[in-house]
Structure 1
Amino acid sequence: MVGDNMCFETISAKALNLYMQSRDYILIDLRDYADYRRGHIPAAINIPYDDLMGNINQLDKNKK
């Protein structure tokens, strides 16, 4: 858990495919910038784990 009301879940590749078909979700790649640049899921945005709370306001609050 991060902060008071943030929690994370690990999802399967099958579940990821279902999420990616919906525009109601934000996929965040929490790895560092170098790892993200080496390869990532095209729809993912990169916010390293250590920077997440400082950038949380950038995320669309209407999406999961």
Structure 2
Amino acid sequence: MKFLEKNSRVSNGFLAATILSIAGSIVIWNTTGANPAHVERLALFVGLWAPTFMGFANYYKE
């Protein structure tokens, strides 16, 4: 499985996913919906992906 080999391209992809997760969480948090509690929970859920993506980025770093 070539995807499991360590290289900087995969690491950079996970770093981009980290940034997108944080930005997405901020955008979701600031949107208004019919149920504000649901929007806040969704934003927190998306924001919690960032540490996982950062861990993968550190693992795949050469």
TM over 0.5: same fold? no
The normalised TM-score by structure 1 is 0.25
Higher relative contact order (CA 8 A, sep 6+): 2
Q: Which is richer in strand?
A: 1
The normalised TM-score by structure 2 is 0.26
- Asked which structure has the greater CA Rg, the reply is 2
